[in-house]
């Protein structure tokens, strides 16, 4: 069974800190790994990592894919209260006719002022 | 730009009642469409996906069904709701396979 595991499940830090969120996966036919930010309703897309793009950066957020270790990290530097959210990791698979994503349970990040 | 709409935002239904949730996408044509459910303490679970009108694939056997009567419309239905159908239902779209999926605001369904 395909599995995506995120850690920690929850994290509380102070504004200005740097955080690292982890995602590991055990899947067949890996194709891509995606990170989403979910505040109250819709998860919003952050990054997609594939074999041809293992590192992405946008402002204070960055992510790296380690295909050897079957894992990814999401880094957030100089955190702000607006970064408080649930961060979701998902894996896309190739073949088999299914195009849906397999999600982890998420990391609930709380930034205290 | 593309937008995705889901309604209603919240719904409270008695056990055994029918269900119809609707999702529409604007600003693109022939998108891939998806229904996910997010239950408490669990990750998002893919329920159905569609690559075109009338084409539905189910990932999880269950009490629900999906239909795609128009290119940018995706409907989630049930004839008789169960308590276990409670959860947060999210619709998503993507341009094609292996492209990021973009989510609607979801419907929070409570079954009494």
Q: What is the pLDDT of residue B96?
A: 83
Q: Is the dihedral of CA B8, B89, B99, B60 positive or negative?
A: negative
Report chain A (113 residues): mean pLDDT per 10 consecutive residues.
Answer: 94 98 93 94 93 89 94 97 97 73 95 96
Q: For residue A98, count CB atoms less than 10 angstroms from its CB and return exposed for 0-12, middle for 13-18, buried for 19 or more.
A: middle
Q: What is the pLDDT of residue A93?
A: 86
A-B CB pairs within 8 A amount to: 57
SS3 A88: strand
What tokens were used for B46?
């893919």
CA distances from A10 to A65, A91, A105 (A): 21, 20, 11
CB contact A98 to B (< 8 Å): yes
Q: List the end-to-end C-alpha distance of chain A, in Å, as a whole number.
A: 41
Rounded-to-integer distance, Cα A30 and Cα B38, Å = 23
- B40 HSE (CA, 13 A, CB side): 6
Kindly give the confidence (pLDDT) of every residue in chain B, 112 residues in length, as a single tens digit, with 9 standing for 90 and above.
889 999 999 999 999 999 999 999 999 999 999 999 998 888 899 999 999 999 998 887 678 999 999 999 999 999 999 999 999 999 999 998 788 999 999 999 999 9
Q: What is the pLDDT of residue A51?
A: 80
Q: What is the pLDDT of residue A46?
A: 97
Q: What is the pLDDT of residue A97?
A: 53
Q: What is the pLDDT of residue B89?
A: 97
For residue B98, the chain A residues in CB contact (below 8 A) are 31-32, 92, 94, 99
For residue B44, the chain A residues in CB contact (below 8 A) are 43, 88, 90, 101, 103
What tokens were used for A71?
């894992």
What does the longest C-alpha to C-alpha distance in chain B come to? 39
At CA B33, angle to CA B32 and CA B35, rounded to 5?
150
Q: What is the pLDDT of residue A96?
A: 55
* Residues composing chain B: 112
A contact test, residue of B35, B98, B104, B108 with most A CBs within 10 A: B98
- A51 HSE (CA, 13 A, CB side): 6
pLDDT in tens, A64-73: 999 888 999 9
Q: What is the pLDDT of residue B61?
A: 67
Nearest to B37 by CA among B48, B52, B25: B48
DSSP-derived secondary structure for B32-100: EEEEEEE-TTS-EEEEEEEEETTEEEESS-SS-EEEEEETTEEEEEESS--GGG-EEEEEEEESSTTS-
């Amino acid at each position: 069974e395909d599995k995506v595991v995120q850690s920690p499940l929850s994290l509380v830090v102070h504004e200005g800190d740097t955080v690292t969120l982890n995602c590991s996966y055990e899947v067949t036919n890996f194709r891509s790994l995606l990170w989403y930010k979910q505040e109250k309703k819709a998860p919003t897309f952050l990054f997609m990592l594939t074999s041809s793009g293992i590192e992405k950066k946008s402002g204070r957020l960055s992510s790296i894919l380690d295909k050897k270790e079957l894992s990814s990290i999401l880094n957030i530097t100089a955190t702000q209260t607006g970064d408080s959210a649930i961060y979701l990791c998902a894996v896309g698979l190739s073949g088999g006719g299914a195009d849906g994503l397999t999600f982890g349970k998420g990391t609930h990040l709380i930034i205290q002022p | 730009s593309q937008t995705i709409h889901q309604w209603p935002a919240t719904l409270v239904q008695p056990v055994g009642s029918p269900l119809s949730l609707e999702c529409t996408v604007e600003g693109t044509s022939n998108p891939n469409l998806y229904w996910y459910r997010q239950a408490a303490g669990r990750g998002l679970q893919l329920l159905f996906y569609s690559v075109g009108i009338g084409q539905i694939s189910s990932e999880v056997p269950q009490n629900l069904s999906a239909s795609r009567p128009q290119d940018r419309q995706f409907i989630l239905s049930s004839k008789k709701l169960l308590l276990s159908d409670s959860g947060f239902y999210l619709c998503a779209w993507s341009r094609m396979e292996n492209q990021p999926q973009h989510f609607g605001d979801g419907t929070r369904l409570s079954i009494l």
